[in-house]
């Protein structure tokens, strides 16, 4: 049995570049086809690779999403997962609103109406 480092891989110059910022087109089309098959059967509009963006992680995906928002009140729970908390203050179009959970871990939807942006 050959070990992996005993084999060589031919690489052409195209693979020495960064990938598309939105993800590889073939992969994006596969994701679009998956959604069309499982969630959009019989619908007039179907997703294509142009409707899909692939990111390297949740934080980068949230950053891209938040960069598109303007004039938005964005409620977030405290204490909770805070990977996005620093992003909330990074964009002028988003007014972050901290929502405290009660002892049982619940918060009322009316709480958002009562609070002002931080």
Instruction: Annotate 68-102 with b (16+ C-beta within 10 A) or e (fewer).
Output: eeeeeebeeeeeeeeebeebbeebeebbbbeeeee
Do strands 94-100 and 72-78 pair parallel, antiparallel, or not at all (unpaired)?
parallel
DSSP run (H or E) holding 96: strand 94-100
Max mean pLDDT among 30-44, 50-64, 69-83 falls in 30-44
- Model pLDDT for residues 1-33, shown as the tens digit of each residue: 556 566 777 777 777 777 778 888 999 999 999
pLDDT recorded at residue 5 = 65
Residue pLDDT, tens place only, 92-106: 888 888 777 766 766
Q: Is the pTM of this model over 0.85?
A: no
Dihedral, CA of residue 64, residue 31, residue 50 and residue 65, to nearest 10 = -10
Question: Bigger pLDDT: 19 or 63?
Answer: 63
Give the sign of the dihedral formed by CA 36, CA 74, CA 91, CA 72.
positive
- Assess whether pLDDT exceeds 60 at residue 117: no
Confidence band, pLDDT 50/70/90 cuts, at residue 34: very high
């Amino acid at each position: 049995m050959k070990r992996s480092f005993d084999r060589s891989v031919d690489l052409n110059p195209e693979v020495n570049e960064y990938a598309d910022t939105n993800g590889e087109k073939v992969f994006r089309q596969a994701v679009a086809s998956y959604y069309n098959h499982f969630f959009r059967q019989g619908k007039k509009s179907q997703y294509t690779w142009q409707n899909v963006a692939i990111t390297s992680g949740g934080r980068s995906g949230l950053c891209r999403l938040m960069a598109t928002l303007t004039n938005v009140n964005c409620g977030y729970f405290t204490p909770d997962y805070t990977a996005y908390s620093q992003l909330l203050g990074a964009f002028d179009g988003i007014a972050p609103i901290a929502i405290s959970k009660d002892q049982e871990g619940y918060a009322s939807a009316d709480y958002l109406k009562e609070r002002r942006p931080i």
